[in-house]
Amino acid sequence: MDGVFQNELVKELVEKYRVLWSIDHAKALMAWDNETYMPKGGVEERAMAMANLSTLEQKLMLDPDFVSLLERAEGAENLNEYERGVLRVLRRNIDYLRKIPPEIIFEIAKTSQEAVQIWDEARRKNDFEKFRPYLEKLSSLAREVAEKLGYEDHPYSALLDLHEEGLDIKKADRIFDEVIPASKKILEKVREDNLFPDTHPLEEAKYETSAMEKVNRELLDLLGYSWERGRLDVSPHPFTITLGIGDVRITTRYEGFDFKRAMFSTIHEFGHALYELQVDERLKMSPIAGGVSLGIHESQSRLMENIIGRSRAFVSLIRPLLEKHLDFVRDYDDDELYRYFNTVKPGLIRVDADELTYNFHIYLRYKLEKLLIAGEIAVGDLPELWNEEMENLLGIRPTTYSEGVLQDIHWSHASFGYFPTYTLGNVVAGQIWTEIVKEIDFEDTVRNGKFEEIYGFLKEKIHRWGGTHSPQELLKRNFGRGYDPESLIAYLKQKYTG
């Protein structure tokens, strides 16, 4: 901590916080295990353990001695930016835990652990009624949380702020009001003029899982993933989880066809992992030793997956790797691979959506969550409303629950207010792209795999700071503005219609 935390009160605060960090560390490992290797029979005990750890963490965080120490530190003068960051993050955590009763903390932790397993089975069996009681309970708990936290305009704003500090429905509405109409115009242009294909033969090409596993592992080698500090595993819904700066794990999925799905899932999660792995080591085990928000986090994964991963330069870079393990790739040149990576077609599944249609999927969830949290609709209304909204936005209609309301894992995590951060991530990725091309020959850097230049830029501007600055402050300090969809829209226009 030398050189970062100088104030004695803050030093003592960070030292005491390490007990809380240790609980988070254990919870993260348990959550990772729950979605990867845990036997289904272990869910009841795991849920109870997670619930008790969560309430223990609340008790320790609200310990009068710890709170008093924070208050004294808040009164100190001449604190540096890292110290102020620690106090900001701890104050947010304490304010939350003071307002939310232990029984709600317990129920959310317990029910969400159980719900993950139920959701997975319900999705596979296309059985909404099996998951419905859990969704009703978790959404009800989310409404209670919103009421306890308080809000100015809408209960959903309280939940948005939990995932993205400072975000409310006014800001979110403004972003969607710009992104959705602009994306619709670009999409119409692409489809009318047939600028990008809506299907490609490679989408039907089958692969052996063992071969695709080799592709993904060598791809991560190429990108610079640290195997000494990470793992690649399989889960129903790919995710990244941080146990600490020295342990950041990712998962992917294999479906046996359309290899770009498995590949881009892996690249996407690598973007999340890179963020955590490049946090300043001096912040280790402190309250600011991690990504500052879900929106900023998502910007890193979307930058890697879309702006880098779907670029022509990246196609040239990875072709030898693909041909080595996937024989059928040899039948297609770079231009065809690029077109395969960038097919544009309204689809039902969010995680498989292309750049142009992806934000429509998020907008659908945003609209439904606002209604649900406000109590304007019931959980039982969701399947039909989902189908209607999908038809209105993209002209297609789900025929099963699995390709509609049951497709995402997030509601089983009680993550209401989470989905808008995906579009926020796209917006911020556009802003980063605008700035990075001013300093780096982007195409040459990617084509030659010189990612250290890009990673250096990201580390200096975003990664190394961890949670030191709030999301919007971080953007304003390094890019001169907060959330601004203009860059994303410009990027999409240039790529798809330029």
List, for residues 155-179, the tens digit of each pLDDT value: 999 999 999 999 999 999 999 999 9
Closest CA to 226 of 244, 252, 248: 248
- pLDDT band (50, 70, 90) for residue 408: very high
Q: Which fold has domain 169-497?
A: Neurolysin; domain 3 (1.10.1370)
Does residue 95 register a pLDDT over 60? Answer: yes
Q: Is 165 a catalytic residue?
A: no
Query: pLDDT > 90: what percent of the chain?
Result: 98
The tens digit of pLDDT for each residue in 350-369 reads 988 999 999 999 999 999 99
Confidence of residue 280 (pLDDT cuts 50, 70, 90): very high
Active-site residue, from 83, 164, 213, 269 = 269
As a whole number, mean pLDDT of residues 225-245 equals 96
Enumerate the domain spans of the chain.
8-132, 169-497
Q: Which residues contact 43 (CB under 8 A, 6 or more apart)?
A: 34, 113, 114, 116, 117
Q: What number of other Cβ atoms are within 10 A of residue 416's Cβ? A: 26
Q: Say yes or no to pLDDT of 26 above 70.
A: yes
SS3 category, 248:
strand
448-464: per-residue pLDDT in tens?
999 999 999 999 999 99
| pLDDT at residue 237, as a whole number | 87
Q: What is the pLDDT of residue 258?
A: 97
CB-based burial, 111-139: b 16+ in 10 Å, e otherwise: bbbbbbbbbbebbeeeebebbbebbebbb
Q: Could you read off the pLDDT of 247-265 as tens digits, one per residue? A: 999 999 999 999 999 999 9
| Average pLDDT for 292-310 | 97
Percent of the chain with pLDDT over 70: 100
pLDDT bracket for residue 498 (50, 70, 90) = confident
For 180-229, the pLDDT digits (tens) are 999 999 999 999 999 999 999 999 999 999 999 999 999 999 999 999 99
What's the token pair of residue 99? 């307002």
pLDDT of residue 188: 96
DSSP type of residue 46: H
1 pLDDT tier (thresholds 50, 70, 90): very low
- Decide if pLDDT at 103 tops 50: yes
Closest CA to 131 of 402, 371, 417, 373: 402
Position 52 scores a pLDDT of: 96
